[in-house]
Structure 1
Amino acid sequence: MIKKLLFLFVLIAIFLAFVPQLAKPSSTLKTVFRLTEQPAVIVKGIQGSALTINISFGEKEVEELLENLSQPYPLLFIDSDWASRFPHITEKIKQRSLPVALLGTEGQHYESDSNLLSEQLRTFEELFSMRPLWFRTTDEEFPLTLLQELNEAEINALGSTVHWSGGTLPKAAKGEIIAVPYAQNEHVAIADIQRLIASRTFQSVEDLLFQSTVKTKKIPQ
């Protein structure tokens, strides 16, 4: 009887030891963190459409743009320097729980300044009280050193399938990620953004990409 109780106790102990491991997510499905095991730029999913807006300029226009957004919200890539100048807009974004990501500068700048990404991340975290899951450079150029930094920080590099600056609407494609600029030298009118939003059914970047397969752009070693 004692031997049976001891055997049962050992089995229970083994079971309890392995339950936490079984509950952990698979390494290939790390929530939204690090969707690719090796440094790479995600440029397309396999279903639906996702809208992203790069914001680094404007005040009243941006406030109007944000007020007119409805769910599912586009992913807003925010320039941390711009956000620092307009804290009242940052607060509105936080109050509405709009999805945000970090918009960097041109890719080449990260090769000449090794501290640039960490400084931008620190500012972003101070403003939004969170670390971004997504990062994009303004020219969508991602040097290998930058990708390695992002990979270590568990931040995904997100490019786009289509960069739309207004005019004729892009033809819908499965898994497309559309990037719309709102910068000083290039920004799309709010009416045009609303026209794009009305042209198809959009979904979040996470829903677009959280599949077993995503398309990436390989980076030369």
Structure 2
Amino acid sequence: MRNKYFIIVLMCCGLFLLLPALPKQLSPISVFRVTEKPAVIVRGSNGSALTVNISFGDIEVEKWIQELNKPYPLLFVDTKWAERFPETVQLIKEKNIPVGLLGDEGVTYEQNTPKFVKQLEQFEKTFELKPLWFRTRDEVFPLALSSMLWEAEINALGSSVTWSGGNPPPVTKGEILSVPHHREERIDFAELKKLDKDRTLITVEAMLFGTTVKVKKIPE
């Protein structure tokens, strides 16, 4: 009997020692789906979550990220921008700021599946992780794109309201705020401080994971 227990203990110890060597793909928290079928998430049930779309900017973006404090916004990053500014990318990684993949306009994916695949591969190479979130520039998600995201276990995230400065929008329960920072349309990062005065910001994960979410229909 003692020999039997001794063997069981040895097996448990051996499994414990092997755990660090298991591939990252087996991690239960590496990916998750918020919805039960392909859909675009546009709102949570509680709180306010900030998301920022970044495809342009150098020093001002790096300075803003340096000054960011928790709870961090979700950054949607254009892969071409990320390639140009590796130092800023490294800062995002060091601070463990949540980041998603920012794509092009939705229509570009209707007949161009390789484009999505290439962007996804570049994102994984740059950030050394698989994105949990994807957003198109115009928040339009054609059926073909939504199907690809579902197969890749990546969540399509839209927003409740887009804000590019000025007076902040009225507070709405469960809102997902989208802020652009592109060459043609970008916010002064100092403006974001206005949001802290009338709403309590939480992370997208805190708002959505394990809660009821609102979605919009995917165009056929």
TM-score (structure 2 length as normaliser): 0.84
What does residue 81 of structure 1 align with? 80
Contact 2:101–2:133 at 8 Å: present in 1 too?
A: yes
Counterpart mapping for 1:60-209 below 5 A: 60-209=59-208
Structural RMSD (CA): 1.4
How many equivalent pairs are there? 192
Q: Distance in 2 between matches of 1:166 and 1:179?
A: 11
Is 1:42 aligned to 2:41, yes or no? Answer: yes
Determine helix, strand or coil for the equivalent of 1:112: coil
SS at match of 2:113: coil
Contact 2:41/2:215, CA 8 A, preserved across alignment: yes
Checking the alignment, whether the CA contact within 8 Å between 2:31 and 2:154 is kept in structure 1 is no
Partner Cα distance (1:144, 1:34) in 2: 17
Given that 1:106 and 1:141 are in contact with CA atoms closer than 8 Å, whether structure 2 keeps it comes out as yes
Letter in 1 for 2:97: L
In structure 2, the CA distance between the partners of 1:69 and 1:197, relative to structure 1 (3 Å rule), is farther
Distance 1:70 1:48 in 2: 18
CA contact (8 A) 2:44 2:212 kept: yes
Q: Would the aligned equivalents of 1:32 and 1:206 in 2 still touch at CA under 8 Å? A: no
Query: Structure 1 counterpart of 2:35, which letter?
Result: T
Q: What amino acid is the match of 1:166?
A: G
What is the DSSP-based 3-state SS (H/G/I as helix, E as strand, rest coil) of the residue aligned with 1:54?
strand
Identity across aligned pairs (percent)? Answer: 54
* C-alpha distance in 2 between matches for 1:172 and 1:181: 19
Residue ranges of structure 1 left out of the alignment (5+ in a row): 1-29
Q: Cα distance, 1:32 vs. partner?
A: 6.2
The alpha-carbon deviation at position 31 of structure 1 amounts to 8.7
Question: 3-state DSSP class of the match of 1:131?
Answer: coil
The 3-state SS of whatever aligns with 1:216 is strand
Task: Tell me if the contact between 1:54 and 1:77 (Cα under 8 Å) persists in the aligned partners.
Answer: yes
Q: Deviations over 1:163-208 (max 9, x none)?
A: 0011111111110000000000000101101222443211110111
Question: What CA distance in whole angstroms lies between the structure 2 residues aligned with 1:105 and 1:94?
Answer: 23
> Are the equivalent residues in 2 in contact too, given 1:133–1:155 (CA < 8 A)?
yes
- Counterpart CA distance in 1 for 2:42 and 2:187 is 21
Deviation at 1:213, TM superposition (A): 1.5
- Structure 1 segments of 4 or more deviating over 4 A? none
Report the Cα offset of residue 156 of structure 1. Answer: 0.1
